[in-house]
Amino acid sequence: MPMPALLADRRLVSIGVAVAIMALLFWWSLSAFSTFAVSTGDAWAGVFNGGQGAGTAARIVANIRLPRALAALLIGGTLGLCGLLMQGITRNRLASPTVLGVTGGASLGLALMTTGLISVPFADGNLVATILGGACAWSLVFMLGTAWSLDASRGRLVLAGITVAALCAGLTRLLVLLAEERALGMLNWLAGSLANVRFAEVQVMAVVFVAGFILSAVVASRLNLVNLGNETAHALGVRLRLLRATVFVAGCIMTGATVATAGPIGFIGLMAPNIARIFVGSDYRPLVPMSAAVGAILLLAADIAGRAVAFPAETPAGAVAALIGASFFLLMARGQR
């Protein structure tokens, strides 16, 4: 009888450790690899007083470092959750916003809007563009990969997703080259960069993350049932169509928000849930907080690494994440039937 209690403990401990690591990385990223000295006092003042009356370093922490670190945390967490939802609904551990082409579609949507080809008369037009772009890509991939049919080949879904992602990336580059003179700067953005995130975007991201977290927690038990098989889930009362539609809408919004904030960041949604599974098992309920925490850790680490690699120049966090993530994908794809 002590066994289940121990197990539950271990999962809680894992989650706790992950959150602690995340907090440490968050704190470190405020001062790490900066081109000027940031002391602990500066960081503290920057975070908690908005930098008033404590000097330039603290103000820079408040206005630049803090939103950046928060963005990394929130975006990483959101992508981790998004990947988890997608993996749950497709019963495919390779699924993620990047692999299913949603990230690519979202950035194409954004490129279409910023180059003026499509105009959306909303205040937050960027967000709408990314969400719609991601939704189109997702629909296309699922049609091509016949994702919902019973004998769907998982490899085919992933292959369709990556190809759609490549197509979207090609089109995005095309648009960017046609429209931008500062093409090299855009290459950085296209790789997913946290460098220019400001507080307004972080606020939106925070809302999306919290909503996404709550939603994931709510559907987690249903996803457990789905992973037992469609018939079983149906027999147990899971409304598959509603669940799929919910995950679809949520996934598009979550991915769209991350792309609108920092450009397309890949593979976090693939790595985070799979790493989380190593520590807390396959039950989706503890996986929700764990994936979010691991995702945040991964992106924070990628951002710090991106600053460290060619200091004082910066490599976009997305490029670092892609580097590790693609290798991760390579290893994982080997195990797929």
Partner 1 sequence: MERSSFTIIPTLILLLAAATLAALCIGATMISPVEAGRMLLLRDAADFVVWQHRLPRSLIAVLIGAALGTAGALIQGVMRNPLASPDILGVTQGAGLAVTIALLLLPAEGSSFLPIVACLGGAAGAALLMAYNSGMAFSPVRFALSGVAVSLTFASVTEFLLLTYPVEINTALLALTGSLWARGWMHLAPALLLIPLIGLAMFLAKPLDLIGLGDEAAGSLGVRLSRARLASITLAVLLTGISVSVIGPVTFVGLVAPHLARRLVGGAHLVLIPTAALVGAIVVVLADTLGRGLAPPVEIPVGILTAVIGAPYFLWLLFRIR
> Would you mind telling me the total number of residues written for the chain in this entry?
337
Residue type, 99: V
Query: What's the CA gap between 175 and 206, in Å, rounded?
Result: 30
Contacts of 315 (CB under 8 A, 6+ apart): 305, 306, 307, 309
* Nearer CB in complex with partner 1: 1/150: 150
Place of tokens 């790490």: 32
* Angle, helices 268-280/66-90, rounded to nearest 10 degrees: 70
Helix 240-262 / helix 102-114 crossing angle, nearest 10 deg = 50
Q: Minimum distance between the CB of residue 90 and partner 1, rounded to whole angstroms?
A: 15
| 96 close to 270: Cβ distance less than 8 angstroms | yes
Burial of residue 295 (number of CB atoms within 10 Å: 0-12, 13-18, 19+)? buried
Q: What is the DSSP letter of 145?
A: T
Question: Strand, helix or coil at 310?
Answer: coil
- What tokens appear for 136 in the block? 């189109």
Of 266 and 273, CB closest to partner 1: 266
Location of structure tokens 């981790």? 80
- Provide the minimum distance between the beta carbon of 172 and partner 1 in the complex, in angstroms, as a whole number: 10
In the complex, minimum distance from the CB of residue 173 to partner 1, in angstroms, rounded to a whole number: 5
Cα–Cα distance for residue pair 9/174, rounded to 1 Å = 51
Residues at the contact surface with partner 1, assessed by CB under 8 A: 144-145, 153, 155-156, 158-160, 162-164, 166-167, 169-171, 173-174, 177-178, 183-184, 187-188, 191, 309-310, 313, 315-316, 319-320, 322-323, 325-327, 329-330, 333-334, 336
Output 273 or 316, the one with its CB closest to partner 1: 316
Q: What is the CA radius of gyration of the chain?
A: 20
Query: For residues 288 and 158, what is the distance between their CA atoms, to the nearest angstrom?
Result: 23
